[in-house]
Structure 1
């Protein structure tokens, strides 16, 4: 793999750390600004909203300059946001810092995904995408636990200053290692928006929302599940999340290797197994050993879907992939927000913290249903294109070996009209 992917992975590591480390530092931040924990929790919501808004906005602006330069500018914005967070004199300023940092998130992964895919051969595209997301998974294994420990024992401000330093390292790495790519020619906002008329793009994003929503239905309430239900001490939770992070790394790595060869079968298997494991978590949450194993499996199965889903969006939005890839990253955060809300409703109804896992299982099954619909549409389009090829003189032989995509996940151009919304 090209060294340029390492620079992108470092940026992803910093972004993943700043997103999740706040979860373990809310009490310290609340004490500093003399606000309640629930008020400090708005910093999490503010970040998620910033991702949803910033992803399309900055990605569209990024079509005006080269992708490499845009990635460097995004890292600069990330550094600015984390410095604001670290030095904030008031709660309003730290909220501003979190939102500024979050604006980087979706656009960086969206543009970075396109750059990574362009750096390798087509058959290695998913593996390249998984390399970027290794940075995100490592953040949960290394960055978040160490950042939380440093913030709790020394100062949460120092944590965010060090995260800003990661952004500087990422920017320098991108400047030195990522090859210069010319500004995309002929790319206009209407071209980027047009891909959202493609049913397959919308289905892939729906799978992202529901599939990763299933993961976060459990993860949002994992602390009270581990302490109140499984019986762990509060000091153990940070390190328990390392098991989840190791699962993320394992699933992302396996997904990257398999998504180039068996994308749809990988999605079917991962989503079905994820639903089963989440349902099982309602039982294993009552056992210390069982809960840790289940956390690992949730992380592995959830992140096994990331490379094939991001690749699927890039494949079906090949004419204008950047905005679609960025919005798909925003879809992860939308899934997180929906799952947390639905899980909270079930818990507030008096069914216990572990009941949020039933919500997660239902969301994962919803993602599986969308995957089956998507695969069915592709098979129907592929069959139709073969029929057309057989009845077109001089085309049958050439098209016969190209019209079907099998399980490759690459859309058939001849069938493309059938995957677009009318109107």
Structure 2
């Protein structure tokens, strides 16, 4: 495996812990900052908002610079802004640092996805991209449980010290392992922005923002789901999260192979239906601790099979504008993050159980099916017109 791809995976690991560890330490943060768990859940949305803001803006700037320089700057931002979270004095400042921490996320994966595909062997582009996103899955397998353990037993602030250190390691690995690829500035920004005049591009954005939001309805409130519904102790949550991470590792590997083997749009229809069915099971059977453990693994697995197919779908739509397209996917993914955390929290505010966010997730997954079917219909109509 190329070291350059490992450097991207390390960045994915750092970003993955940054994004997902909040779900594990949410009760600890809420108690320490004296806010309710649903209010603390807005910290998840703040990070997602940072991604949505940063992804397009930083990619517009990045296109004028070599990928290595861009990735180094983004890794530096990631390390610095996460380190600020260590010293926040109150909830309001924490919201701000979470938003700032999200700024480099989308651009890093946007630039990284294009770089990974350029470094890949012919026909293995999706698998190369999945190596970068393997960092996200390893984060959930190892990093998030460790960060949750630290946050529960020591302090959630120490968790962000760990993230800051990983950000610095990402910076160093990119400096030594990433080749000096030329910038891809031959396509004008005006031409790249034409991507957003395509209905197909907006359908992929909706597929990502709404469909994948079902994942975040589940994972945003996984800690109280496990303790209040499944009956596990708070100290066991970090270990159970390893199961979710293991599922994500498996799902990411399966997803990369699926995207290189089958049409990504048809694959997504099946995956969204599986996700909706899985969330039905989570809602109905999480009260049983043994079934709950299986569902933690299966939901993690299904949720990460989406990534490569969605990336490849957008890259197919966005010929000549791959970098802005990949960043748009990351922004969309985190709109789903924000929507899932916010909409999933509404039943909790209304007094329903910690299983209730999964009902919202079911609806969002089925909306993903709808938007994917609409994409397929437009694609088939275009093919018929070409054959006439």
In structure 2, relative to structure 1, the CA distance for the partners of 1:332 and 1:164 (3 Å cut) is same
Q: For residues 94-129 of structure 1, give each alpha carbon's deviation from its aligned partner in whole angstroms, at most 9, with x where no partner exists.
A: 444333221111110111111111111341111111
For the pair 1:67 / 2:82, whether they are aligned, the reply is no
Partner in structure 2 of residue 400 of structure 1 = none
Contact 2:45 2:337 in 1 (8 A): no
Contact 2:51 2:106 in 1 (8 A): yes
Note the C-alpha offset of 1:220: 2.1
Partner in structure 1 of residue 255 of structure 2 = 255
Q: In structure 2, what is the Cα distance between the partners aligned to 1:153 and 1:286?
A: 26
1:230-241, aligned counterparts within 5 Å? 230-241=230-241
Q: For residues 336-361 of structure 1, give each alpha carbon's deviation from its aligned partner in whole angstroms, at most 9, with x where no partner exists.
A: 22223333333445553323222211
Contact 2:52 2:335 in 1 (8 A): yes
For the pair 1:316 / 2:329, whether they are aligned, the reply is no
Contact 1:339 1:360 in 2 (8 A): yes
Contact 1:85 1:95 in 2 (8 A): no
Partner in structure 2 of residue 190 of structure 1 = 190
SS of the residue corresponding to residue 272 of structure 2 reads helix
Contact 2:187 2:320 in 1 (8 A): no
1:17-416, aligned counterparts within 5 Å? 17-26=17-26, 29=29, 35-37=34-36, 40-88=40-88, 93-262=93-262, 263-349=264-350, 351-387=352-388
Structural RMSD (CA): 2.1
TM-score when normalising by structure 1: 0.85
Note the C-alpha offset of 1:28: 5.0
Q: In structure 2, what is the Cα distance between the partners aligned to 1:318 and 1:102?
A: 27
Note the C-alpha offset of 1:307: 0.5
In structure 2, relative to structure 1, the CA distance for the partners of 1:265 and 1:30 (3 Å cut) is closer
Contact 1:229 1:286 in 2 (8 A): yes
Contact 2:45 2:341 in 1 (8 A): no
State the aligned residue count.
Answer: 386
Note the C-alpha offset of 1:12: 0.8
Which of the two has higher C-alpha Rg?
Answer: 1
Note the C-alpha offset of 1:31: 6.4
Q: In structure 1, what is the Cα distance between the partners aligned to 2:82 and 2:309?
A: 31
Contact 1:213 1:364 in 2 (8 A): yes
Contact 2:46 2:338 in 1 (8 A): no
Q: For residues 74-111 of structure 1, give each alpha carbon's deviation from its aligned partner in whole angstroms, at most 9, with x where no partner exists.
A: 00111111222224456555444333221111110111
SS of the residue corresponding to residue 212 of structure 2 reads helix
In structure 2, relative to structure 1, the CA distance for the partners of 1:63 and 1:26 (3 Å cut) is same
Q: For residues 371-400 of structure 1, give each alpha carbon's deviation from its aligned partner in whole angstroms, at most 9, with x where no partner exists.
A: 12212222222222222xxxxxxxxxxxxx
Which structure's relative contact order is higher, taking Cα pairs within 8 Å and 6+ residues apart?
2
Give the gaps of 5 or more residues in structure 2.
Answer: none
Q: In structure 2, what is the Cα distance between the partners aligned to 1:219 and 1:26?
A: 11
